[in-house]
Structure 1
Amino acid sequence: MAVFEYRALTQQGQTTKGVLEGDGERQIRQMLRDQGLSPIEIRALDGSKKSAGQASGRAQQTHQAWFGAKIKVDELALFTRELYTLLDAGIPLNQALKSLAGQAESKTLTRFLSSLHTRVSEGYSLATAMEMAPAKVSHDIIATIQAGEESGHLDKVLSRLADAVEQRDQLNKKMKTALIYPALMVVVAVLIVFFLMVYVVPKVVSVFDNMQQALPPLTQGLLSVSEFVQNQWPLMLVAAVALWLWSIWLMRQAKWRFKVHTLMMNAPGLKRFLIYAATARWARTLGVLLSSGVPIKDALTISAEVMTLDPMKQAVLKMVTQVREGKTVGTAMTDAGFFPPLLLNLVKTGEGKGQLDNMLLKGAKHYELSVETAAATLVSILEPMLIIIMGGVVLTIVLAIMMPIFEMNQMVG
């Protein structure tokens, strides 16, 4: 028999450590379950091997990153809040997961929760079970849950995490809602112009075919464009799809993606919107990680993953190196060059008072509200611009049709 050292959670959520003898890790897990404990980590005292569950979890996480489904943010928010509620009511973790799996609405979430229940019942920690799950969950979520399990305050960490995920979901929905109308206007405008070019213009302008005089240049140009669209629309469709696929491939190249993101961050009107959105999400993620007990260097590395813009992501990763070298977080953020002044002041104040996590969460709340304002401003600019462009296109088509009629009236007169 071998000797194993373990860390486990009691039914009250407290962390306990100890040593047991057994034939293998599986037997140790069963022994702990018999005692009402949920294992977090099991390893042989000789240190020759770590928990097989953690290694398997990392392998599963790599696999799911490429092939697995992804849990939607709204589903993750609901799951986190409900799990916190059940644990706060004193229900054991495995029973809570079983209950949530039975009431899940989507098949993906059902498989995900069933997998978590199975793994936790086998003795794995919740964080490890999430790494091994058939659906992808962002690393900052798993790291926060792992910190909660290790600290013995999983329920409290889940409460903070639920707030963060719900806020992220609300922000995403507000941003999408703000952009739906401009996107819909663009689609409708393109369809209207295509319809006019293919069906309306040829029939209306065909009445001028028997005229003995040359058509105005604008009308001739419109007819040429209309004829091209009628004859070449399959080629145009193929070209549009090819351009779309090429843009997707291009954005997967780190060099070009960095250039595109840099250009977007410097675009007037878009700059403030993008930076505030990224800053709000990063500050909330880092604040939750720190308040959950994750070390500052690890928290910075994990928080970089929520940055969707490459220049900002690389700047945060550079901050990790600077903090390791002894710089404060506030100084490293100042060197990054894009964080808003208010957040910089909050971070510097928080570091001085030992309340960095609270200040980050306050900053996140402020910039989440600022994102809503910036989104409304962006839409208020886009709407009249799109209307003017659409009106200009329709006016050009109308003029091209009416100009020959005016000339006919002058000839008759």
Structure 2
Amino acid sequence: MPVYSYKVKDSDGNLITGTLELESKTVCIDNLKQKNYYILDIKEKEEKKDIFESINSSRKVKVKDIAVFCRQFATLINAGLPIVTSLATMVEQVENKKLKGALSEVYEDVQKGKGLSESMRKHPDVFPMLLFNMIEAGEVSGTLDNVLNEMADHFEKENNLSQKVKSALAYPMVVSIVAICVVIFLVTNVLPTFVGMFKNAGAQLPLPTMILLGLSDSISHYWYVYIADIALTVFLIMKALKTENGRRLYDSLALKVPIFGPLNKKVITSRFTRTLATLISSGIPLIEAMTVIEKVVGNTIVADGLKKVEEEIKRGKGLAEPLKKMGIFPPMVIQMINVGEDSGSLDSILKKTADFYDSEVDAAVSQMTTLIEPLIIVVLASVVGFIVISIVMPMFQMYNFVGQ
């Protein structure tokens, strides 16, 4: 709970200073006014944070945190508590420092009479655009608790989707890193021992052994250059991804790369259909829903395509035909949307489509892992085999020399 230092005067004109630990600045002002003080100044005291707390407060708010917040907030409102009281409870409840700070400001704004969605819009780095648009719809329709429960379901599924993809990528990354470390150990520690023995025996070193020997010397004497090159490469890639052209190139490759490309398209399809279904079922117009989806789809190439689709819709065309021109979404999705538009049940059909592609993502993740495992084994076996051959070849030459 924040601490406020105040400077006031009493009825006799005496200057009084002190501190109060209260929920917000507004509550602090009310408390002092009840004591008939004339308020001169009120400031929130900044708490000294250690380095770990500072790092924690600057962390990004995860989708999982937003899902938990929506579920708990919906429970409080459904229990009959006012929004202000529910927000005060949530400020105490959440653990993420960044989310807690944003909720504190939202709480103060709502106390001043502002709407919940309007207050949340001030924190786009904390609350997703989809969330405060849906909350706005819930405020208008008087179904805020239902909307929050829908958002909790949505973000829980979104979190599960992200975790599946991360889990699929984690295995090959870990195996690759371990394999590289093992190869470096063999080249820098094991190989030089054998090479020294061969040289003492006067054996002629073959070309593969000479190549590995040069690599071993290079890594042993100039390891810092390799580390600096890797760090510089990572830095340049991260910097390029922050530029518009760099991000477009990355997003374009993400849709075209073998194995990963089809998986990314299925993830985008699942995210698109689920988000659009959630927005439409809450009464948000299709054009406005498309604007929101452009911001949350997570791929600039797809977002650009959706902007063109939005323009086509504004000209009076349906959703299915412009989506087909994008060439991103599978024919089944286009057909389902077409049926939904004709039958007037687009939201329910989109939800069923999203559930289907959630299972498709599961299958694609399993298939990707199945394809990557043998590929890693082949590459690792080739590298280790080359090292073994480089060591064995001089041995055979020594045996042939002794045999003669």
2:383 matches 1:393: yes
Aligned to 1:352: 342
Instruction: Give 2:178's aligned residue.
Output: 188
* 2:208 pairs with 1:214: no
Farther off after superposition, 128-137 or 292-301: 128-137
2:394 paired with 1:411: no
Residue 133 of structure 1 deviates from its aligned partner by: 4.1
2:193 to 203, 208, 211: 203
In structure 1, the partner of 2:133 is 143
What amino acid does structure 2 have at the position aligned with 1:118?
Answer: E
| 2:269 counterpart residue number | 279
Q: 1:104 aligns with which of 76, 82, 94?
A: 94
Q: Residue by residue, what CA displacement relative to the aligned partner does 1:193-225 show, whole Å, maximum 9, x if unpaired?
A: 122222222223211222334211111111011
Post-superposition offset of 1:401: 1.2
- Alpha carbon RMSD of aligned pairs, Å? 2.0
Q: Deviations over 1:33-56 (max 9, x none)?
A: xxxxxxxxxxxxxxxxxxxxxxxx
Equivalent position to 2:213, from 207, 210, 223:
223
Shift of 1:131: 2.1
- Is 2:251 aligned against 1:246? no
Distance 2:217 2:170 in 1: 32
Q: Are residues 1:372 and 2:358 paired? A: no
Decide which moves more: 373-382 or 267-276. 267-276
Note the residue ranges of structure 2 that are not aligned, 5 or more in a row.
Answer: 1-25, 31-56
**Contact 1:282 1:307 (C-alpha < 8 Å) held by counterparts:** yes
Between the aligned partners of 2:166 and 2:146, the Cα distance in structure 1 is 31
Alignment pair present for 1:330 and 2:351: no
Report what 1:57 is aligned to: none
Q: Which amino acid aligns with 1:128?
A: E
Shift of residue 260 of structure 1? Answer: 3.4
Matching residue's letter, 2:272: W
Q: What secondary structure sits across from 2:121 in the alignment?
A: helix
3-state SS of 1:250 partner: helix
| Contact map agreement 2:61 2:96 (CA 8 A) in 1 | no
Residue in 1 aligned with 2:73?
83
- Rounded to whole Å, the distance in 2 between the matches of 1:86 and 1:146 is 18
Counterpart residue number, 1:4: none
Tell me which amino acid in the other structure corresponds to 1:241: A
Confirm whether residue 117 of structure 1 aligns to residue 89 of structure 2.
no
Q: Match for 2:368: what amino acid?
A: L
Q: Which residue pairs with 1:233 in the alignment?
A: 223
Unaligned runs of 5+ in 1: 1-25, 31-66
3-state SS, counterpart of residue 212 of structure 1: coil
Could you list the per-position Cα deviations for residues 34-82 of structure 1 after superposition, in whole angstroms to 9, with x for gaps in the alignment? xxxxxxxxxxxxxxxxxxxxxxxxxxxxxxxxx9753211110011011
| Cα distance change, pair 156–176 in 1 and its aligned pair in 2 (3 A) | same
Q: Residue by residue, what CA displacement relative to the aligned partner does 1:271-318 show, whole Å, maximum 9, x if unpaired? A: 220100011111111111111121111110110112222221111111
Residue 252 of structure 1 and its aligned partner are, at CA, apart by 2.7
Find the aligned partners of 1:108 and 1:250 in 2 and give their Cα distance.
Answer: 27
| Percent of matched pairs sharing the same residue | 31
Q: Is 1:343 matched up with 2:338? A: no
- 2:319 is matched by which residue type in structure 1? V
Residue 158 of structure 1 and its aligned partner are, at CA, apart by 1.2
Aligned to 1:72: 62
Mark the CA change 1:137 to 1:235 in structure 2 (over 3 Å): closer, same or farther: same
Change (3 A) 1:69 1:136: farther
User: Which residues of 2 match residues 11-26 of structure 1 at below 5 A?
Assistant: none
1:134-193 deviation per Cα after TM superposition (whole angstroms, max 9, x unaligned): 952221211111111122221121121111111101111111112211110111111111
For structure 1, which segment, 114-123 or 341-350, has the greater mean C-alpha deviation from structure 2 after superposition? 114-123
| Aligned counterparts of 2:59 and 2:128: Cα–Cα separation in 1 | 12
- Which one of the candidate residues 300, 316, 333 is aligned to 2:306? 316
